[in-house]
Amino acid sequence: MTNHKIALIPGDGIGTDVTDAAMKVLHAVAMTAGFTLETETFPWSCAHYQETGAMMPADGIETLRAFDAIYLGAVGWPDTVPDAVSLHGLLLPIRKAFNQYANIRPHRLLPCVEGPLKAPGFDILCIRENTEGEYSGAGGRVHQGMVNEVAVETAIFTRAGVERILRFAFEQARARRRHVTSVTKSNAQKYSMVFWDEITRHVAADYPDVAVSMMHIDAMAARMVMAPESLDVVVASNLFGDILTDLGAAIQGGLGFAASANICPDGSGPSMFEPVHGSAPDIAGQNIANPIAAIWSASMMLDHLGENAAARAVMAAIEQATAKGIGTRPGRHSTDQITAAILAALEAAS
Ligand code: IPM
Ligand code: MN
């Protein structure tokens, strides 16, 4: 029987609530699909920072390397640890250390979920560059606190980094509706984004079967609201992709439905799966967080691990629950009720 070793980092706030829910579903589907999941839980979080002075131990990355995948709940508790400290101490270093350069975020409406738009159905796959660009971390501050203080944060785009994310997006499009929209801002950013466009054209030449268009980030934001059904695969730089995927989450009914996968495509390190929502301190521990994004992310993890039938079974169970109106609107059902409905649908199908 195949065994998958999963590192669990529930993290902060509702991260623990939704990780529990996702694990219940994962263990249930493993039982019927005939594989085992060996999980090890790491308490790395803002509470851990307060106890130890670090979000994770110095050998944290090396510890994670031994796993087949990482499942993360959420990171951040700004009342005690500034976000720039907690995120740079856990989430962002993991994405970079394991070369998880492709952040995949699906945006579509689940059955009976009413998004804010009067749009017909849409099915967008956002591919966000996840290791460089505006998140490169290159910069500094001088003359701190003085009137002549300067802060610089430089976006870094490398040919290798841009080319690989674009290739990844075109490959994804081949398994879908064969259309890539490459998000740019080359009308204003005459170095990095002109470079991005050139590489888009260069890569597109290798995929004559995939249609490509380029769209500026501002126009793209409007199009995701006005005509989301016209989009298939959307590929964007780190910050552009970050912003557009919160917009994507909004049009699919809210952050409670937004799943994501941080993929290391060459398998040289583990990939990481996490819901897009943050730790939501205001609703933490109250059994009201929507676990659907977390369970959908777990389904993406199963796909990545090659458990494709189990991944489909989990998605089908989520869809059956929402088709009955469970988890479709905030506040109507508890975390436990939504999880129970998904578990019941899984059980009924097995
Ligand atoms: C996300 C989050 C993170 C990001 C934050 C928490 C650093 O917003 O995964 O979308 O910007 O990547
Ligand atoms: Mn974000």
Q: Is the CB of 276 under 6 A from ligand 1?
A: yes
Please report the atom of ligand 1 found closest to the CA of residue 238: 12
Alpha carbon distance, N-terminus to C-terminus of the chain: 18
Q: What confidence score (pLDDT) does residue 260 get? A: 98
Residues 102-115: tens digit of each pLDDT? 999 999 999 999 99
pLDDT average, residue stretch 196-219: 98
- The catalytic residue positions are 135, 185, 218, 242, 246
The beta strands (E) that lie in 110-244 are given as: 123-129, 133-142, 150-156, 179-184, 211-216, 233-236
Ligand 1, atom 3: closest residue by C-alpha: 242
Categorize the per-residue pLDDT at 204 as very low, low, confident or very high, splitting at 50, 70 and 90.
very high
Task: Look at residue 91 and tell me whether its pLDDT is greater than 80.
Answer: yes
Q: Is the CB of 261 under 6 A from ligand 1?
A: no
- Among 55, 75, 87, residue to substitute to test ligand 1 (most atoms within 8 Å of Cβ): 87
Please report the atom of ligand 1 found closest to the CA of residue 95: 12
Task: Look at residue 119 and tell me whether its pLDDT is greater than 80.
Answer: no
The position carrying tokens 């670090």 is 54
Q: Is the CB of 242 under 6 A from ligand 1?
A: yes
Distance 275 CA to ligand 2 centre (A): 10
Ligand 1, atom 8: closest residue by C-alpha: 242
Q: Is the CB of 293 under 6 A from ligand 1?
A: no
Tokens found for residue 224: 């995701």
Q: Is the CB of 272 under 6 A from ligand 1?
A: no
Categorize the per-residue pLDDT at 120 as very low, low, confident or very high, splitting at 50, 70 and 90.
confident
Task: Look at residue 257 and tell me whether its pLDDT is greater than 80.
Answer: yes
Q: Specify the amino acid at residue 291.
A: P
Q: Which ligand places an atom closest to the C-alpha of 74?
A: 1
pLDDT average, residue stretch 122-139: 98
Averaged confidence pLDDT in the chain: 97
Ligand 1, atom 11: closest residue by C-alpha: 242
Task: Determine the Cα–Cα distance for residues 233 and 88; give it in Å rounded to an integer.
Answer: 29
The pTM assigned to this predicted structure is 0.97
Q: What confidence score (pLDDT) does residue 13 get? A: 98
Distance 249 CA to ligand 2 centre (A): 10
Task: Look at residue 199 and tell me whether its pLDDT is greater than 80.
Answer: yes
Percentage of the chain exceeding pLDDT 90: 98
Categorize the per-residue pLDDT at 98 as very low, low, confident or very high, splitting at 50, 70 and 90.
very high
Q: How far is CA 1 from the centre of its chain?
A: 29
Distance 323 CA to ligand 1 centre (A): 30
Task: Look at residue 218 and tell me whether its pLDDT is greater than 80.
Answer: yes
pLDDT average, residue stretch 175-195: 98
pLDDT average, residue stretch 48-65: 98
Which of 113-136 are b and which e, b meaning 16 or more Cβ less than 10 Å from the residue's Cβ? bebebebeebebbbbbbbbbbbbb
Residues 292-347: tens digit of each pLDDT? 999 999 999 999 999 999 999 999 999 999 999 999 998 899 999 999 999 999 99
Distance 30 CA to ligand 1 centre (A): 30
Q: Which helix (H) or strand (E) holds 195?
A: helix 192-204
DSSP 221-268: HHHHHH-GGG-SEEEE-HHHHHHHHHHHHHHTTSGGG-EEEEE-TT-S
Ligand 1, atom 12: closest residue by C-alpha: 242
Q: Is the CB of 12 under 6 A from ligand 1?
A: no
Q: What confidence score (pLDDT) does residue 56 get? A: 98
Categorize the per-residue pLDDT at 118 as very low, low, confident or very high, splitting at 50, 70 and 90.
confident
The position carrying tokens 């980092």 is 9
Categorize the per-residue pLDDT at 163 as very low, low, confident or very high, splitting at 50, 70 and 90.
very high
